[in-house]
Amino acid sequence: MAAAAGPPLPSEPPTPTDTRPKNHPLFAQIRLANISDVPYLHKLIHQMAEFEQLTHLFATTESSLAATLFPTTHRPPPFHSFTVFILETSPNPFPPIQENPNFTPIQKTLILDNSVADPEKELFWSMGNDVVVSGFVLFFPNYSTFLSKPGFYVEDLFVRECYRRKGLGKMLLSAVAKQAAKMGFGRVEWVVLDWNVNAIRFYEGMGAKVLPEWRICRLSGEALEAYNTN
């Protein structure tokens, strides 16, 4: 005689499906700066001076930035004088790119392992849809007599701390290099502090040559004003 079957075992509850995204998109955009970006630029330049341990040289003001970067009269077109690219980021997509005769914004989507915690978000909020200013690059034309071609000199390249090591610095510098190549320029140059090993490796990884035999010579402050004599 077969043994009687026991009571039916309770079925295990179904494993809940985890619908949370495993990756976090960060939408990035590079555009031409305008005079409304001056307050952000002032904060970014001060943070850069802190990072480079050069706050004792920081003397810029919002008004001086506006007057020199965005003069109201006789302002040269972009890329023919001081030019600034602004880097903006957002957890949401940017609107479609609009054609611009001077520069079409560059957009890119980054997939991060973790979302960015931005403690200064409200200070750098540039528009709706959670868009914040996250960095900038300032450059201007120079000239190479050896190449008989103009080039770009990058004065400043800066990304706020919480947005570093995500490829955004490379995106900014690549935008300058792309513009130089588009205009038929011969080279893009900049300087790097000798103690900033991470930056040196980053630039070398982009194909740049670091020239240790060159030294910067500078006249400024009282030494420069001494030449303003009769």
Ordered DSSP codes for 35-51: GGGHHHHHHHHHHHHHH
Please list, in sequence order, all residues whose beta carbon lies within 8 angstroms of the beta carbon of residue 133, skipping any fewer than 6 positions away: 37, 40, 44, 86, 87, 88, 124, 126
Active site residue 203: yes
Q: How far is CA 164 from the centre of its chain?
A: 9
Dist. CA 85–CA 115, nearest whole Å:
24
CB 186 within 8 A of CB 147: yes
Catalytic residue among 143, 153, 203, 227: 203
Please list, in sequence order, all residues whose beta carbon lies within 8 angstroms of the beta carbon of residue 89, skipping any fewer than 6 positions away: 26, 27, 28, 29, 116, 131, 132, 134, 163, 168
- Strands 149-159 and 106-112 turn out to be unpaired
How many C-beta neighbours within 10 Å does residue 61 have? Answer: 10
The residues that are catalytic are 203
